[in-house]
Amino acid sequence: MAKAQRPHIAILPSPGMGHLIPLVELAKRLVHQHTFVIPTDGSPSKALKSTLDSLPTFIDSVFLPPVDLSDLPPDSKIETRISLMVSRSLSSLHDAFVSMVAGTKLVGLVVDMFGTDAFDVAYEFNIPSYIYFPSTAMMLLFFLYLQELDRTVSCEYKDMVEPVRLPRSVKGIMVNGFQDLESGPKALQAKQSGKPSVYPVGPLINVDSSDKPDPSGCIRWLDIQPVGSVLFVSFGSGDTLSRNQVNELAMGLEMSEQRFLWVIRTPNDTIANATYFNVDTQKDDDPFMFLPKGFVERTKGCGLMVGSWAAQTRVLNHGSTDGFLTHCGWNSVESVVNGIPLIAWALYAEQKMNALMLSEDAKVSLRPKPNQNGLICRDEIAKVVKCLMGSEEGKSVRNRMLELKEAAKRVLCENGSSTIAVSEVADSINMHCYLQIRNLLS
Ligand code: UDP
């Protein structure tokens, strides 16, 4: 079928690799043509461009003209910046829709949770909207319950003028989870009239990335390490530690005497997500200047540090990797599909909820304890790393993760629950399209 005639879905990811990457995986599973319509406030990062360059042919991408955020105070929250980037892009999104409907059969819009302002544009074109929720079902439940909390709890919510409202015009919400990983999806799937359907479609992970380049050299390094010996240390696409914390982490890794591969960023003492929008703002040699004296030489052979970015899915899929110290961004749940156990080190946003769920509920991670100043000290780090990589407790976390790996395989197979959920979304989009055509003909 010619590309232009295939039913076509517009996908609007809000800025940030943690939102783009799983939406790409979702697009690969929906049997439609797709166009990623991407809001920006400047030139896109290398990581973003390289993800878009590697898209299959049935997925296009287009950048909306950059919006101006210079009127915002420098300390404005990242969530504010993301939401404004989307809302200030609406007129260009409208123009992009005009071009898309001229050349293709546009049948749906998918946004993530910061993109709901775009529903107005979809509504104008009579196109159904769906939300892809890039976090846990637990977080979604929490959001859905906010109105009730607002009614019943008087503490932090007391200053709000309007209650938090979930947009009602949405047809469905896709969440990156599955039942064995967290119990939330079941509670959300109960159908209620007037409420959007919730589809657990996870884990949305790119498992086949073996042909990608390895500019940081970490795969070559992993190739020469013993099987099942390396702890991968990474804080997502934009998270940064304080100087003190970088120092303690380095010393803790050294004291653990375990092999490690660490994606390291220049520390930031005030902001935990300093490089969220564009990890390229880091200079390659910057982060290494902040490591303890002699650390690089002392750990040569058993440790590798790479600046800013590593091919995470390939690292987690590598036979030498056997543990993952993660900031608990929800996409880092991808270690589930590789059966790699975790050390849960949450930094900001909903990461603390994720860490708690992964440790207490799913029991696939260990959690280092911060001291009274919030610092995780070297002794604690060394203890928890040794525990994960070589103790009975570590073994039990590992075994539980292997069970989840099998469960993830089951939900993603042909008749698995996540595959069925994605087909249900596709059916719902097709049904809307069919009804539209029938109305036009009658
Ligand atoms: N990622 C990567 N290399 C890196 C850091 C991150 O490939 O060095 C990818 C990772 O695989 C994941 C995404 O970026 O898909 C980060 O999403 P997550 O939800 O874990 O964290 P966020 O960056 O949104 O806080």
Nearest ligand 1 atom to alpha carbon 21: 15
Tokens of 277: 């929008």
Pick 54 or 369 by higher pLDDT.
Answer: 369
Q: Which residues pair with 131 in a beta bridge?
A: 111, 173
Overall average pLDDT of the 230-248 stretch: 93
Q: What atom of ligand 1 comes closest to residue 332's alpha carbon? A: 20
Catalytic site includes residue 19: yes
The response to whether residue 417 sits with its C-beta less than 6 Å from ligand 1 reads: no
Which residues are registered as beta bridge partners of 37?
62
61 Cβ below 6 A of ligand 1: no
- Looking at residues 312-341, what average pLDDT do you find? 93
Which residues does residue 305 pair with via DSSP β-bridges, in sequence order? 262
pLDDT at residue 441 is higher than 80: no
Q: Are 362 and 147 in contact (CB under 8 A)?
A: no
Q: Is 91 buried (19+), middle (13-18) or exposed (0-12) by CB count in 10 A?
A: exposed
Residue 360 pLDDT grade (very low, low, confident, very high; cuts 50, 70, 90) = very high
Considering only CA atoms, which of 400, 379, 405, 389 is closest in space to residue 225?
389
| pLDDT above 60 (res 153) | yes
Average pLDDT over residues 166-192: 78
Q: Which of 239, 331, 358 to mutate to test the pocket of ligand 1 (most atoms within 8 A of CB)?
A: 331
Q: Give the model's confidence band at 166: pLDDT under 50 very low, under 70 low, under 90 confident, else very high.
A: very low
Amino acid at 295: F
CB burial of residue 154 (10 Å; 0-12, 13-18, 19+)? exposed
DSSP structural state of residue 260: E
Ligand 1, atom nearest to 326 Cα: 20
Q: Is 346 in the pocket of ligand 1 (CB under 6 A)?
A: no
212 compared with 245, residue with greater pLDDT = 245
Neighbour tally for 356: CB within 10 Å: 16
Q: Is the pLDDT of residue 164 over 80?
A: no
C-alpha to C-alpha distances, 296 to 166, 231, 262, 285, 303, nearest whole angstrom: 49, 17, 12, 13, 8
What is the rounded average pLDDT for all residues in the chain? 87
The more confidently predicted of residues 23 and 32 is 23
Residue 1 pLDDT exceeds 50: no
Residue 374 pLDDT class (50, 70, 90 cuts): very high
Report the percent of the chain where pLDDT is more than 90.
56
The mean pLDDT of 56-65, rounded to a whole number, is 92
Q: How far is the CA of 236 from the centre of ligand 1 (A)?
A: 4
Task: State how far the Cα of 76 lies from the Cα of 63, in Å rounded to an integer.
Answer: 24
Per-residue confidence (pLDDT) for residue 78, from 0 to 100: 86
User: Does residue 187 carry a pLDDT above 90?
Assistant: no
> Do 39 and 64 contact (CB within 8 A), yes or no?
yes
Q: Name the token pair of 109.
A: 């819009």
Would the pLDDT of 173 be above 70? yes
Does pLDDT of 171 surpass 50? yes
**Closest by Cα among 98, 176, 93 to 137:** 176
Alpha-carbon gap, residue 28 to 328, rounded angstroms: 24
Which member of 8, 19, 34, 318 is catalytic?
19
Helix (H) or strand (E) holding 251: helix 243-256
Decide: helix, strand or coil at residue 120.
helix
Contacts 24+ apart (CB under 8 A), 196-199: 196/131, 196/168, 196/170, 196/171, 196/172, 197/171, 197/172, 197/173, 197/424, 197/428, 198/137, 198/140, 198/172, 198/173, 198/174, 199/172, 199/173, 199/174, 199/175, 199/421, 199/422, 199/424, 199/425
Q: Is residue 243's pLDDT more than 70?
A: yes
Choose among 64, 54, 56, 58: nearest CA to 4: 58
Regarding the beta carbon of 317 and ligand 1, being less than 6 Å apart is answered no
C-beta of residue 305 within 8 angstroms of C-beta of residue 264: yes
ipTM of the shown complex: 0.99
Contact between residue 93 and residue 85 where contact means Cβ atoms under 8 Å apart? no
Return the number of other C-beta atoms located less than 10 Å from residue 56's C-beta. Answer: 9
Task: Give the DSSP H/E element, type plus range, for residue 33.
Answer: strand 33-38
Eight-class DSSP state of 73: -
- At residue 215 the predicted structure's pLDDT band, cuts being 50, 70 and 90, is confident
Q: What is the pLDDT of residue 160?
A: 55
pLDDT class for 79, splitting at 50, 70, 90?
confident
Residue type, position 156, single letter: E
263 touches ligand 1 (CB under 6 Å): yes
* Largest interatomic CA distance in the chain: 78
User: Is there an atom of ligand 1 within 6 Å of 202 CB?
Assistant: no
The answer to whether residues 41 and 83 touch, using CB atoms and an 8 Å cutoff, is no
Helix, strand or coil for residue 339?
coil
| Lowest-confidence region among 142-156, 284-298, 319-333, 388-402 | 142-156
Catalytic residue among 8, 41, 112, 322: 112
Average pLDDT over residues 331-344: 91
